[in-house]
Each structure stands twice: as structure tokens, then as C-alpha cells.
């Protein structure tokens, strides 16, 4: 028979089981954290009508889409979880009731240039809160609370949730008559850590911005101090623009409520350089950085938007949401040796029969499983060394060996594979010892 | 703005949140049960190279495939989880070690004719055990043990795991010189419950089968009694065919070990009419029926195969596996009102602030969340009635109302939405009461 080479597409993550265990545990932690805040689950299809999915898209996004026909139907794979949410909410607006809080954890598809650490199929872990016509600013403070809880649960202790408000940026640029160059200026500002203050100034100057305006921008960008100091420095800039003032009020409220949610001050900060996508977010924006792994970039981002589903419905649906690009995050953390999960195994114990008389092993296994202990049994005919290698291979932390003596005494040798410790125990005692 | 109609593709399940909660809980139960037996997780890509995915396919399957190109690459969406497993094992055979036990729960795609209860995107929940060259028959008995545990955990108490062995069928037909008509005969036999014994006989006769052979087939098919009686009646048929004898030995062993795994006799049965796919399974085969919902058909099926990955590798990889077509099962059970899960909600409690002074509510929420209680807070400005309706809508079983008095006394009114019971409690007492 002619063989086909068994190969996986580039840009598609396919893990070995031990890594998959870690991946799933982290994904489960994120899910549990989202549920802790009362977000409801959705699981929308991977495939949608192209005209539905691409109602808004254009440019780069559209080029990356996996789009095809089946029969006469023009189909596309989802490239994020926000557009399917917009479709879902528009479609079910009368049944849902608002505010509507949902999470979705699922794979999305983007035909990007394949490169190390970039994936064409990847998990996003999203939460959004959607309001009917309006949505309290307190929701903007809830997002950092969810991020804080989630990354704490993932085992991280040193991270910063950076917040900003698009209205502050928009107001600043409006007050300087720089609305049209705002995007370009923001792009240059974004490089300040790399290229330095002077280079930023001269690049902005090349755009034709006046020296006065450059000075105002730099004064704004270089505002420092703790969160409260930053807010009072923003106030003292005396920028007389209505949007700026609204933004400043919003960020002041958001900070107040973030604290009320119990997020310690050392875990969040105002970062006036953060803008996120220029055409979507309209208020609070978020980026999150693991301070020990800064080069990963933002590991959780999002923001407030005025209108979720304007391409599908006249109903005004403001919302706020965040997203974790989980596949990439896992890859990067794994590369950096920064995965904090403890489990690398499914089975708590492997039962190894010494001979062909296997009923006792099956019986003990059933009892352990009934007690909630994940139990594997080595059923093949093999040398003892090979059997123990199996436990080692899959990081199974305990082994129970069952031979004639064990069958007679009903006491079983339980061996801890990590410490080497061994004890002869009854099934009941083994259960007590292994139960988490 | 011209609106696009927000619609979902026919044949693609998209649930409302309350149903999604039930769906996820059942899916989680299946996962937990698979892990209980030490199966390791895999999460292969949804998209594969077409030549890899279609190495084996043909006929009906191939027509249903979602196949398309991206750039110059010929791609297809997976239509089951077995072919990706075969690819994976062939690809990683040196790294994995055997026996290799994996589960995978994921969406697969088949462009079937859309009809009620039939899905084009659906979850399969699979387990397989793959051996290197050989695989002990005890694994064939493990599958019913997993099915038993899983459906028990799903809340079912009245189901039958039906087993048969393809070698018994093949041996019977070989002994009657009916190898070539076996497929046709089996198809007719499959209808016996619908059309009756006489109609089956006459349809088989139309195939040109002799009266003697028909009698032998009917004697075989109509074997009744309990499991042990069936085995001894099979023995007493005196069929002198090597394959038949091997099959009979195998099913005898499988029955012995199913009992050793602790599966009670009333939950499994030998059903000699079961054949499953004719070109794939080579030994033990399984079908599972919920006896109170027989018209659902088999809810969990599978079997033993000689060679998992012959299209990709020369290495002989025998295996045994089962699959639950979960999306369809959920739809059918939901329609029949037969979902046994208890949870219909994510949040254990909704905190409802009486006024704009919301910090206390956020503070209590954080404490409850830290204690592992899923907690939602109603943050919008709304009438009390609307706030309570929110709890009702999402089946949130408890509400905590916080106003000025509660802020002063630190005692909070906890209302059980089901019983109507209300009590004034401290946060600590609320935690004790709500913690599962």
C-alpha cells in the first residue's frame, strides 16, 4: 500500500499529551475564573455565512480569512469570537435580556504568515458584558478584577493591568487640532521605550506637528507617579475639551471601582500610551503584562465599545470585553519555562499486575475510580521494567503492584514514583492517601 | 447603514445560555469519566491536509467533506476524530510509547443533508487504546466499563451495552460459504425487530441463500437467554470454523473481564445482530442503548480494529475505541426531557445593590468569589423588579440584597429564589451556606 505522509499543517498547534494536560489545566482555570464572575457560556459555530462574518471586516483581516463554498453557500471560519457574539446577540436580543454577560473559549482561524509562535488556529478566551442602550462604567472596572483573579489563579504574582481611556487620547488630540494625525502620532509614541524621547519628538515633528503641540503631547505622555498622582496631573493639564473631561471622569471612576473590587494597587496602572485598535474601542482600554516576561507583550487585552452589533441591528448595544490569545500565550510561557500549573498527568495511580491473574487489579482499579481517583491499569504482557517506564513516561506519580501475595493479604504495595517511598496498604488506606 | 441579517447556518447547533450550561456539564462529565480511566487528552487541529485526511475515505464520506484551498494548499475539515488520531500516532510513534490511551472531545464536520436532529458540526467524544503490534483482549472489556461509568455519571440507570464479535459473524458466514453475501444478509437481519422473522427469511432467500443456510443463520440470530446461556448455545452450534472459534473465545474472555471490571450483568448483553461498519472493525463491537429512550438508537458505539494507521505507516497498530456523538445525543435527550444534570446556572448567587452606593456589594462579591462561590452582581441602574427578573432569567438560585441597613449591620439578606426562604446573615455564614 502506498503510504501518505502523516503531517500536520504549519501554524496549527498539536501538543504531546503531557503538554496537552498542562494546556487543558490552564484553559480550565481561565474558564473557572470567568464563571466565578457569573459569565454565561456560549459555543457558537466555527463556520458562519461569509456575509455575516465579514459584515464589518476589511483589509488585512479579510485577506486572512478561511473562506470557501460548500454547494452554493459562501462560508467562512470565524477569525475571532466577537463577531459571532455580535451576530448571536442581534439574533437573540429579545430572548436574552440585558445586561448579557457571556464567556466563550474556542478556536479561531487566521491564515497569517506562519512563523514561530504565531498560529493559524488558536484559542481565544473571551468575556464580554453587553448592555441595552447603556452600560454602567462599573463594568469597566470589573474587567481588571477578572484579569486579576484569572492570572492569580494561573499562578502569576507579578503582573500589571494597564488601563487607559480612548476619550482622553481623542480629547487631547482634538484640543491640539491633531485629530487627523492622531493615528500616526500614537504609532510613533508606541515606540518610545525602544527609540527614546528625542527620536519620538523628531518623528512627530516630521508629521508637521507644531512645537507647541509636540510639547503638549510629551507632557501628557510622560506623566508619571502612582495612579492617583497621574490622575491629578491629568487634571492639572487644564485641557479644555469635553471628550477629554468625560474620559478623565471615566478613568477616575474606573480606578475607584477597581479598588472596590479588591484589586491591589500594585497590580494595575494607568498607562496613557495604550490606544488599542483605533476604530473599535471608544472608552476604557486594557493591556496586561507579566512583568517577569515583558517580551511576551500584552497577554490579555480589550476595552469598551459603543456598539457591538451595528452591522446587524439598529439596537444600540454598548459593551466591554477582554480576550486572552491562549494558544500563543501557552506556547510562549512553555518556551520561557513559565507554566505554573502543577499537574502534568491525568492518572493519579498506575496499577501494575505482576502476572496474568488480572481480576484483582481490575477490582482494585474500579474501587479507586469510584472514589474519584484517576486510575490506569497496565494490561499488556510485558517485563516489569517496561511497565514502570509507562508510569514514568506519563508522569503517573503512584504505582500499585499486585501479585500473588497482594491477592492473598489484600494489602497492596503503593509506591510513590517521586519520593520512592513504598507502603503496604489496604484499598481503603490507599484511597485515603491518594484522595485530593 | 445597510444591515446584514444575523443568521446561523442550518445544521449548526447554537444554544441559548441555559441549555449551553447543561450541554457543558454533560460534556464535562464525559471528560471526567474518560480521565478516571487514565486516558490522556489530545486536541488535534480541525483543519488538516486533504490528502492526509482523505487517505482512507471514499464514497459517501468524501462527498460530505468540507474541502477547500487556501493559497495553494488543499485543506479539509476533520469528519471524525479517528483519522486525526491515526495521523498523530503514525507521526509520533517513536515519542509516544504503547499502549497509548487517548481521549479527544471536539467538533467534527460533515456536510450531511440538514434535518431535525442531524448536525453538520457536532461534538464527538472518543476514547481509543492503541497497541504496538498487539493489544490485550482485556482492553476490549475496559470499553464497556468506561461506558458503564460514563452513563451512570450522566445520571442514567437503565441502559444496555450490547457487545458482539465480528469474528463470530465472519466465521459463521464463512462456514456457510456466504462470505460475499454477508453484508446483504446482515443488512436484512438488522431489520428483524421492524419486519419480523418471516420477512427476514424471505428477503434472505431472495439473495439466493439455501434453506439450510437460512436455517443456520436464523438459529444463530435467535439465540436467546442470559449472557452465559448465549455463550453456551454458541458453543453448541458446533460451527467448525477457525475464525468463529477465535471470536467465541474472545467474547467469552471479554464477558469474564467485563465482570471483573465490576459492570453488573444487567447493564451488558451479547447481541449477535450487531455488526457495525463492515470494513473497519475486526473483533469486539459495541452499541449502547438507553432502554427508556430506545428510539434514540445507539448512544455510544465502537469496536476493535486490527490496524489504525495503515495508510500512514507500516507499523501495525491494533486498537479498540468507542465514540459518543454528543451533539445529537444532547439534542435528542433535551427533546425527550431526559437530561439528568442538575445545574442550569453558572452563578450560585446574584448580589443586588439597592442604591448607587455599590462598593459594599463589590466587596461582598469578591469575598464570595475568593471562597469559590460563583457570584454575579447586578450593576445597572434599574427597578428592583427588573433586577430580580435577571436572577430568574438565568436560574440564579440565591439573591443577596444590599442597602443602607446591610451596609451598617454587615448582615445581608440572603434569599433562596426557589423556596422563598430569607435570612439575614454575615458574609462568613453566607459562604458556609452556599459552599458546595
Write out B56-112 in H/E/C secondary structure: CCCHHHHHHCCEEEECCEEEEECCCCHHHHHHHHHHCHHHHCCCEEEEEEEEEECCC
Which pLDDT score is estimated for A277? 67
Top-tier CATH class for A9-130+307-344: alpha beta
Confidence at residue B233, expressed as pLDDT on a 0 to 100 scale: 97
Among B8, B139, B376, select the one facing A379 at the smallest CB separation.
B139
The two most distant CA atoms of chain A are separated, in Å, by 92
Residues of A in contact with B314 (CB under 8 A): 3
CA A211 to chain centre: 41
Cα B33 to Cα B246: distance, rounded to the nearest angstrom: 31
In chain B, CATH 3.30.930.10 sits at 17-191+241-335
Q: How far is A294 from chain B (nearest CA, A)?
A: 28
| Burial class (CB within 10 angstroms; exposed 0-12, middle 13-18, buried 19+) of A356 | exposed
> CATH 3.40.50.800 occupies which residues in chain B?
349-434
Rg (chain A; Cα; Å): 27
- pLDDT confidence bin for A57, thresholds 50/70/90: low
Nearest CB to A312: which of B4, B12, B35?
B4
- Region B325-341 average pLDDT: 93
CB–CB of A35 and B374 under 8 A? yes
- Using CB atoms, which residue from B46, B312, B376 is nearest to A121? B46
How far A430 CA lies from chain B's nearest CA (Å)?
16
Q: Using DSSP, state whether A256 is helix, strand or coil.
A: helix
Percentage of chain B exceeding pLDDT 70: 99
Instruction: Report CB contact under 8 Å: B41, A107.
Output: no
CATH architecture of the domain formed by B349-434: 3-Layer(aba) Sandwich (3.40)
A-chain residues within 8 Å CB-CB of B19?
Answer: none
Bridge partners of A106, per DSSP, are A124
Residue A345: phi and psi, rounded to 5, are -145, 155
Dist CA A55 CA A307 (whole Å): 14
Q: State the Cα torsion A394-A400-A401-A404 to the nearest 10°.
A: -150
Q: Which of these, B329, B341, B340, lies nearest to B123 by C-alpha position?
A: B329
pLDDT band at A133 (very low <50, low <70, confident <90, very high): very high
Cross-chain Cβ contact B9/A73 below 8 Å = yes
By C-alpha distance, which of A254, A154, A142 is closest to B376?
A142
DSSP annotation of B115 reads B
Mutate to test the interface with B, among A47, A378, A393, A400 (most CBs of B within 10 A): A47
What secondary structure letter does DSSP report for B12? Answer: B
Backbone angles phi, psi at A336, to 5 degrees: -85, 0
In chain A, residues under CATH classification 3.30.930.10 are 9-130+307-344, 156-271+278-290
How near does any CA of chain A get to the CA of B216, in Å? 36
Q: Which tops the pLDDT comparison, A2 or B27?
A: B27
Chain A nearest-CA residue for B119: A45
Residues of chain B contacting A313 with CB distance shorter than 8 Å = 3, 6
The whole-number pLDDT of residue B115 equals 82
Tens digits of residue pLDDT in B49-70: 999 999 886 667 788 999 999 9
| Range B359-365, long-range pairs (CB < 8 A, 24+ positions) | B359/A257, B359/A260, B360/B402, B360/B406, B360/B407, B361/B402, B362/A138, B362/A257, B362/A260, B362/A261, B362/A262, B363/A260, B363/A262, B364/B400, B364/B402, B364/B412, B364/B427, B365/A261
A vs B, Cβ pairs < 8 A, gives: 264
Question: Measured between alpha carbons, how far is B310 from A150 in angstroms, rounded to an integer?
Answer: 44
At residue A58, the pLDDT reads 67
For A107, the closest chain B residue by CA position comes to B46
Nearest to A161 by CA among A144, A175, A183, A142: A144
CA distance A208 to chain B (A): 35
Which has the closest alpha carbon to B406: B389, B387, B383, B422? B422
The Cα of B8 is separated from the nearest Cα of chain A by a number of Å equal to 6
**Contact: B21, A40; criterion CB under 8 Å:** yes
Question: Whole-angstrom Cα distance, residue B244 to residue B257?
Answer: 20
pTM score, two decimals?
0.96
The Cα–Cα gap between A367 and A195 comes to 64
A369/B37 CB distance under 8 A: yes
Please name the residues in contact with B339: beta carbons below 8 A apart, sequence gap of 6 or more: B22, B26, B330, B333
Is the confidence at residue B395, as pLDDT, over 80?
A: yes
The residue length of chain A stands at: 436
Give the residue from B91, B161, B99 showing the smallest Cα distance to B320: B99
* Cβ neighbours of B199 (radius 10 Å): 13
Q: Nearest by CB to A20, from B41, B311, B377: name it.
A: B41
Radius of gyration in angstroms for the set of CA atoms belonging to chain B, rounded to a whole number: 27
How close does chain B come to A338, measured CA to CA in Å? 21
Nearest chain A CA: its distance from B42 CA (Å)? 6
B5/A52 touch (CB, cutoff 8 Å), yes or no: yes
CA of B156, closest CA in chain A: separation in Å?
16
Using CB atoms, pick whichever of B5, B12, B41 lies closest to residue A17.
B41
d(CA A61, CA B68): 19
* pLDDT band, very low/low/confident/very high, at A436 (cuts 50, 70, 90): low
The answer, yes or no, to whether residue A175 has pLDDT greater than 90, is yes
Domain A156-271+278-290, CATH: 3.30.930.10
Q: What angle (nearest 5°) sits at the alpha carbon of residue B156, between those of residues B155 and B159?
A: 165
Whether the CA torsion A327, A333, A337, A340 is positive or negative: it is: negative
Strands A73-77 and A67-70 turn out to be antiparallel
Res. A155 pLDDT band, cuts 50 70 90: very high
Nearest CA in chain A to B347: A38
B43–A21 CB contact, under 8 Å: no
Mean pLDDT to the nearest integer, B7-18: 96
Q: List the strands of the sheet with A319-325, edge to edge.
A: A40-41, A100-109, A121-130, A319-325, A301-305, A284-290, A159-165, A268-270
Query: Are residues A71 and B111, on separate chains, in Cβ contact within 8 Å?
Result: yes
Where is A269: in which H helix or E strand? strand A268-270
pLDDT at A278: 59
- The reported pLDDT for the residue numbered B358 is 93
Say if residue A43's pLDDT is above 90. Answer: yes
Query: CB distance A260–B346 less than 8 Å?
Result: no
The answer to whether the complex's ipTM is over 0.90 is yes
Phi-psi region of B246 (alpha: psi -120 to 50; beta: other; left: phi over 0): alpha
DSSP state of A79: S
pLDDT of residue B58: 67
Q: What does A4-32 look like in DSSP terms, one character per residue?
A: PP----TTB----HHHHHHHHHHHHHHHH
Average pLDDT along chain A: 94
Indicate the SS3 state at residue A164. strand
- Residue B392: pLDDT band (50, 70, 90) is very high
Q: Which of A333, A334, A343, A341 is nearest to A292 (CA)?
A: A333
**Mean pLDDT value of segment A169-198:** 90
Query: In 3-state terms, what secondary structure has residue B321?
Result: strand
Q: Among B1, B5, B362, select the one facing A260 at the smallest CB separation.
A: B362
B277: confidence class by pLDDT, cuts 50, 70, 90: low
Average pLDDT over residues A15-44: 97
Alpha-carbon distance A384 to B291, whole Å?
43
Contact residues on chain A for B308, CB-CB shorter than 8 A? none
Give the residue-averaged pLDDT of A257-263: 97
* Strands across the sheet containing A422-425: A375-377, A349-353, A398-402, A412-416, A422-425
Name chain B contacts of A260, Cβ cutoff 8 Å: 358-359, 362-363
Give me the CATH code for the B17-191+241-335 domain, please: 3.30.930.10
Closest-CA distance of chain A to residue B346, Å: 6
Contacts of B93 in chain A (CB under 8 A): none
Taking the C-alpha atoms of residue B216 and residue B184, their distance in angstroms, rounded to an integer, is: 16
**CA dist., res. A285 & res. A265, Å (int):** 18
Shortest CA distance to A148 belongs to which of A253, A272, A257, A41? A257
b/e per residue, B289-301, with b = 16+ CB within 10 A?
Answer: bbeebeebebbbb
Which residues of chain A have a CB within 8 Å of the CB of B394? 40
Could A92 and B16 be called an inter-chain contact, meaning their C-beta atoms sit closer than 8 Å? yes
Q: In what order do the strands lie in the sheet with B349-353?
A: B375-377, B349-353, B398-402, B412-416, B422-425
User: Whole-angstrom Cα distance, residue A239 to residue B366?
Assistant: 36
Taking Cα atoms as reference points, which of A132, A139, A137, A52 lies closest to residue A316? A132
State the distance between the two ends of chain B, measured CA to CA, in whole angstroms.
50
Cβ within 8 Å, pair A101-B49: no
Q: What is the percent of chain B where pLDDT is above 90? A: 86
Could you give the CA distance from residue A43 to residue A31 in angstroms, rounded to a whole number? 13
Pairwise CB contact (< 8 Å): B43 & A15:
yes
Of A183-192, A408-417, B151-160, B296-305, least confident by mean pLDDT is A183-192
Share the mean pLDDT of chain B: 94
Chain-chain contact of B13 with A45 (C-beta, under 8 angstroms)? yes
Amino acid at each position: 500500500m502506498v503510504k501518505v505522509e502523516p503531517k500536520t499543517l504549519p501554524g496549527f498547534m498539536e501538543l504531546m499529551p503531557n503538554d496537552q494536560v498542562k494546556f487543558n489545566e490552564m484553559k480550565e482555570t481561565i474558564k473557572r475564573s470567568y464563571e466565578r464572575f457569573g459569565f454565561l457560556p456560549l459555543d457558537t459555530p466555527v463556520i458562519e455565512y461569509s456575509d455575516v462574518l465579514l459584515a464589518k471586516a476589511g483589509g488585512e483581516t479579510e485577506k486572512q480569512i478561511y473562506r470557501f463554498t460548500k454547494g452554493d453557500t459562501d462560508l467562512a471560519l470565524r477569525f475571532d469570537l466577537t463577531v459571532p457574539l455580535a451576530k448571536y446577540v442581534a439574533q437573540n436580543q429579545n430572548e436574552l435580556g440585558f445586561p448579557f454577560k457571556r464567556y466563550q473559549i474556542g478556536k479561531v482561524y487566521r491564515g497569517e504568515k506562519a512563523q514561530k509562535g504565531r498560529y493559524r488556529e488558536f484559542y481565544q478566551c473571551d468575556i464580554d458584558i453587553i448592555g441595552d442602550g447603556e452600560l454602567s462604567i462599573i463594568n469597566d472596572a470589573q474587567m481588571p478584577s477578572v484579569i486579576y483573579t484569572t492570572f492569580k489563579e494561573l499562578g502569576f504574582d507579578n503582573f500589571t493591568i494597564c488601563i487607559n481611556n480612548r476619550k482622553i487620547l481623542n480629547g487631547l488630540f482634538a484640543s491640539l487640532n491633531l485629530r487627523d494625525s492622531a493615528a500616526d502620532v500614537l504609532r510613533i509614541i508606541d515606540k518610545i521605550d525602544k527609540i527614546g524621547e528625542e527620536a519620538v519628538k523628531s518623528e512627530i515633528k516630521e508629521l508637521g506637528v507644531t512645537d507647541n503641540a509636540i510639547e503638549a503631547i510629551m507632557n501628557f505622555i510622560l506623566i508619571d507617579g502612582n495612579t492617583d498622582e497621574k490622575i491629578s496631573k491629568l487634571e492639572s493639564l487644564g485641557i479644555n475639551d469635553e471628550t477629554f473631561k468625560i474620559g478623565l471622569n471615566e478613568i477616575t471612576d474606573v480606578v475607584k471601582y477597581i479598588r472596590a473590587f479588591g484589586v491591589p494597587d500594585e497590580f494595575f496602572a494607568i498607562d496613557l500610551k495604550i490606544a488599542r485598535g483605533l476604530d473599535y474601542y471608544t472608552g476604557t482600554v486594557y493591556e496586561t503584562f507579566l512583568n517577569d516576561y515583558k517580551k511576551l507583550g500584552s497577554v490579555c487585552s480589550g476595552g469598551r465599545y459603543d456598539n457591538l452589533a451595528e452591522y446587524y441591528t439598529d439596537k444600540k448595544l454598548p459593551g466591554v470585553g477582554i480576550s486572552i490569545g491562549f494558544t500563543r500565550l501557552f506556547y510562549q510561557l512553555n518556551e520561557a519555562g513559565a507554566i505554573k500549573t502543577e499537574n502534568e498527568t491525568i492518572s493519579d495511580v498506575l496499577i501494575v499486575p505482576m502476572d496474568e491473574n488480572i481480576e484483582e487489579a481490575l477490582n482494585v482499579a474500579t474501587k479507586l475510580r469510584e472514589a474519584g481517583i484517576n486510575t490506569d491499569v497496565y494490561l499488556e504482557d510485558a517485563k516489569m521494567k517496561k511497565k514502570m517506564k509507562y508510569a514514568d513516561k506519563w508522569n503517573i506519580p503512584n504505582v500499585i503492584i499486585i501479585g500473588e501475595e497482594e491477592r492473598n493479604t489484600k494489602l497492596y504495595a503503593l509506591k510513590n514514583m517521586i519520593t520512592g517511598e513504598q507502603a503496604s496498604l489496604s484499598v481503603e488506606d490507599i484511597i485515603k492517601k491518594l484522595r485530593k
